[in-house]
A and B are shown apart, each in its own frame.
Chain A
């Protein structure tokens, strides 16, 4: 039907079902034929401005119909798209632009105030912006005059499709490289598992820079179905979100437990007709069973699937919940490996663990990342090589997640080996939070940690040791953190301490800090 590239289905369905809606956003729609033409035009604009195959193309905009055009335009030109969180601080944006050597950014008029801050530092091209900026821009008015034929670019499935940045323990984000082959494996797994069909309307609730979005965009296009883009402000109000599901007749959702619990507690679900919803996939962090059971009771006809997998190896294990009201194991297992994935549990000496033994989960999978951009140090650490046969060893990814396999064959998630945490589905390295706080001139030392919230997730908190002469207040320090970190990684509160409690080895005693934090009521 179509070849091995992640963007090929768009061209296919533009021929077979040209008028079917590819993207919908707040009532506005873009058909497969319109998407195919618009993304071809954007690809021509990129190539005309000197874009070379394999160049990284930043996508910097809020959810809108143009987001679909941007993704497919970048891919059709032979580019590697790099999602740029529209909410991230300018300093972080600048870091990613430099780190990934991005010279082409597809954006929107609404981003103009933020783009203006790049004036003088960014020398590349900005696309999709019709307002005047002190930058090289190519607006949609011009792009829409270009040829709408498929550009003549030769790409194979080994080529990179996207690079996704996530929190890094050094204080700077790191970019995961994913090929067309890996992306299409993930997309096809999702489409087959859920049985997506053209009539499905799949929510794009997660932001583009979150790996769940790859399912939303590409599993959907594999099936010629419709992506329903959920504007960011709608995602913040549970009642608006449930209203959106009803109005847009959304049938499939892949999101984090936090969103679903919020929807149940504040979404006025009893006031909405949610009968269009047939399948909910969740991942990113464990789902507290009591909340999941309650939600299943409220939506008894929906299928539920726990999808596990770090962004480096998405959807590598999966667990389909038995239909309501059948009981399910607690805590909810992460299940068994997905199609075309293979698991290995190892101990600290890289030796295999047996049933019931706790160890680190390693994965080899067709969805596996091709490593971290520009980070040979990390690439050396995260892979495990085992001889197989022939010249190529088997390559396993060390997830950093501790798991155990029970007698029932199902894997259970136990926690992390390192200091990476999940908050509302977002992955945050606590070392990065501490590094950001420590860049404030008055901060001598910082310790970040998490405390549980009442939504089944965790909130990031921090304690700081200030210089004796410091007049800095908590607000100043939080404001400083907001210039360095994405919003979800900024501590919700800070505690200034004269001295950190220490363990016998002299390390900061974070458990004791958490006790102090709770006792002061700061949490």
Chain B
């Protein structure tokens, strides 16, 4: 799952706003693009789409702070 796919999911399914601008390196929390509830939705979507299991201890700021860090994390568990 790449940055574009992640962005599109957040825009359409979480924010209900396809025009919402999200840069790849934008802090998703400090910009209030995501909150703790929407992170949960995003995790479930990634698990379903990529057929992976994300353990709770991996759902951290380090792995989920930007679109780029999420992409990197998905790449690391998919391999």
Nearest chain B CB to A251's CB is how many angstroms away?
22
Instruction: Among A234, A262, A493, point to the contact of B61 (Cβ < 8 A).
Output: A234
Interface of B is mostly: loop
Whether A239 lies near B17 (C-beta < 8 A) is no
Q: Which residue of A lies closest to B40 (CB)?
A: A266
Interface membership of B77, Cβ < 8 A: no
Nearest chain B CB to A387's CB is how many angstroms away?
49
Whether A238 lies near B36 (C-beta < 8 A) is yes
Nearest chain B CB to A41's CB is how many angstroms away?
28
Whether B29 lies near A232 (C-beta < 8 A) is yes
Whether A232 lies near B30 (C-beta < 8 A) is yes
* Known contacts A453-B37, A474-B16, A487-B35; A239 and B56 CB within 8 A of each other: yes
Instruction: Give the A interface residue count (CB, 8 A).
Output: 30
> B17, B20, B34 — which one has the most chain A CB atoms within 10 A of its CB?
B17
* Known contacts A237-B36, A266-B40, A487-B35; A475 and B18 CB within 8 A of each other: yes
Nearest chain A CB to B24's CB is how many angstroms away?
17
Residues of B within 8 A of A474 (CB): 16
A171-205 CB mask vs B (1 if < 8 Å, else 0) is 00000000000000000000000000000000000
Within the assembled complex, what's the spacing in Å between the Cα atoms of A479 and B40?
A: 22
Interface membership of B25, Cβ < 8 A: no
Whether B36 lies near A239 (C-beta < 8 A) is no
Residues of B within 8 A of A268 (CB): 55-57
Interface membership of A243, Cβ < 8 A: yes
Within the assembled complex, what's the spacing in Å between the Cα atoms of A478 and B59?
A: 27
Nearest chain B CB to A483's CB is how many angstroms away?
12
Interface membership of A240, Cβ < 8 A: yes
Whether B59 lies near A237 (C-beta < 8 A) is yes
Interface membership of B51, Cβ < 8 A: no
Residues of B within 8 A of A240 (CB): 60-62
Instruction: Give the B interface residue count (CB, 8 A).
Output: 26
* Known contacts A237-B60, A268-B55, A268-B57; A478 and B65 CB within 8 A of each other: no
A479-506 CB mask vs B (1 if < 8 Å, else 0) is 1000000010000111000000000000
Whether A479 lies near B30 (C-beta < 8 A) is no
A352-379 CB mask vs B (1 if < 8 Å, else 0) is 0000000000000000000000000000
Within the assembled complex, what's the spacing in Å between the Cα atoms of A345 and B59?
A: 45
Instruction: Among B16, B29, B59, point to the contact of A233 (Cβ < 8 A).
Output: B29
Q: Which residue of A lies closest to B61 (CB)?
A: A240
Whether B29 lies near A239 (C-beta < 8 A) is no
Whether A475 lies near B60 (C-beta < 8 A) is no
* Known contacts A233-B27, A475-B17; A239 and B57 CB within 8 A of each other: yes
* Known contacts A478-B16, A493-B16; A238 and B34 CB within 8 A of each other: no
Within the assembled complex, what's the spacing in Å between the Cα atoms of A271 and B58?
A: 11
Nearest chain B CB to A285's CB is how many angstroms away?
15
Whether A236 lies near B29 (C-beta < 8 A) is yes
Whether B17 lies near A478 (C-beta < 8 A) is yes
Residues of B within 8 A of A459 (CB): 37
Whether A271 lies near B57 (C-beta < 8 A) is yes
Residues of A within 8 A of B40 (CB): 266
Whether B60 lies near A236 (C-beta < 8 A) is no
Nearest chain B CB to A247's CB is how many angstroms away?
12
Interface membership of B15, Cβ < 8 A: yes
B19-57 CB mask vs A (1 if < 8 Å, else 0) is 110000001011010111101100000000000000111
Whether B20 lies near A479 (C-beta < 8 A) is yes
Whether A233 lies near B57 (C-beta < 8 A) is no
Nearest chain A CB to B13's CB is how many angstroms away?
11
Nearest chain A CB to B21's CB is how many angstroms away?
11
Whether A233 lies near B15 (C-beta < 8 A) is no
Nearest chain B CB to A431's CB is how many angstroms away?
23
Interface membership of A257, Cβ < 8 A: no
* Known contacts A233-B27, A266-B40; A479 and B56 CB within 8 A of each other: no
Within the assembled complex, what's the spacing in Å between the Cα atoms of A235 and B37?
A: 12
Nearest chain A CB to B44's CB is how many angstroms away?
12
> A233, A237, A455, A478 — which one has the most chain B CB atoms within 10 A of its CB?
A237
Residues of A within 8 A of B16 (CB): 474-475, 478, 493-494
Interface membership of A62, Cβ < 8 A: yes
Residues of A within 8 A of B39 (CB): 236-237
Q: Which residue of A lies closest to B32 (CB)?
A: A487
Residues of B within 8 A of A478 (CB): 15-17
Q: Which residue of B lies closest to A486 (CB)?
A: B32
Nearest chain B CB to A62's CB is how many angstroms away?
7
Interface membership of A267, Cβ < 8 A: yes
A selection of 17 A-B contacts at a CB cut-off of 8 Å is A62-B30, A232-B29, A232-B30, A233-B29, A237-B60, A243-B60, A266-B59, A268-B56, A268-B57, A455-B37, A459-B37, A474-B16, A475-B15, A475-B19, A476-B17, A478-B16, A479-B17
List chain A positions with a Cβ less than 8 A from chain B. Answer: 62, 87, 232-240, 243, 262, 265-268, 271, 453, 455, 459, 474-476, 478-479, 487, 492-494
List chain B positions with a Cβ less than 8 A from chain A. Answer: 15-20, 27, 29-30, 32, 34-37, 39-40, 55-62, 64-65
Which 3 pairs between the two chains have the least Cβ-Cβ distance? A475-B17, A268-B57, A233-B29
